[in-house]
A and B are shown apart, each in its own frame.
Chain A
């Protein structure tokens, strides 16, 4: 039980935290309103000067390699609930760490997505 929880932690937390860091980095850069290629290139160069971006990239890479490692060791059926869990953990993280207002309506939507992801994984198996 403890081992499973730890393995799920390794798959879900680094990737989700990485995406949250990326969100924070982009909020620092500010809302993009100009979508011409040179303006987008400027935004990309600007976000690369924000430390949150590099922390995010590192954590996302760690999450990706944890998932690959886990897939080589555990059955896919063990790993797939982690994908569903990451939607709930990410939403909670958005509320707690990014200060987003997650309404009950948004929670209902996230719950439906989580259940759907589990069914999709079972349907592929």
Chain B
């Protein structure tokens, strides 16, 4: 494997991790917060119970853990790859979000949204064929 192929591969692996864990993290956090319900009022006891419920919810912690994993993967990939490469390439997360919406949450995904996802995939394919790193080490 050439060093360029190696760079493409490790960049792709990190971006796949980023775009898989971020939507899952959002989903778990959203689900956890919906289980807790809206903040009933601003009285100190109500605030205490709200945050106590949030921070003792395993669903909320799963979401937070996944979002931390996303951020770490994001930092690691930026240690070598261009920001102008990672930014558009990570937009492939819209595909993951649409697939999650369709298959896991059983939502209706409009054809216009699928068309947008297809355009994004084409864009990521084009960006993916450029050099991940163009600056000096």
A residues neighboring B (CB under 8 Å): 19-20, 22-23, 26-27, 29-32, 35, 40, 43-44, 47, 87, 90-91, 93-95, 98-103, 105-106, 108-124
5 A-B residue pairs with Cβ-Cβ distance under 8 Å, sorted by A, are A19-B83, A29-B79, A98-B84, A116-B91, A116-B120
State whether A116 and B116 are in contact (beta carbons under 8 Å apart), knowing that A29-B79, A43-B79, A110-B127 are contacts in the complex.
Answer: yes
Which residues of chain B from 101 to 137 have any CB-CB distance to chain A below 8 Å in the complex?
109-131, 134-135, 137
B78-92 interface code vs A (CB 8 A; 1 in, 0 out):
111011111110010
Interface flag for B9 (CB, 8 Å): no
User: What is the number of residues of chain B that contact chain A, defined by CB distance less than 8 Å?
Assistant: 43
**What residues of A have a CB within 8 angstroms of the CB of B110 in the complex?**
123-124
Q: Do B113 and A124 touch across chains, with their CB atoms under 8 A apart?
A: yes
Which residues on the A side are within 8 Å of B135 (C-beta)?
27, 98-101
Q: DSSP class of B's interface residues: helix, strand, loop or mixed?
A: helix
Q: With contacts A105-B126, A116-B123 known, what are 6 further pairs, Cβ within 8 A?
A: A22-B75, A44-B75, A98-B82, A109-B124, A120-B98, A121-B116
Cβ–Cβ contact A27 & B79, under 8 A? yes
Q: B120 contacts A112, CB within 8 Å? A: yes
Q: Which listed residue, B75, B113, B130, B137, touches A109 by the CB 8 Å rule?
A: B130
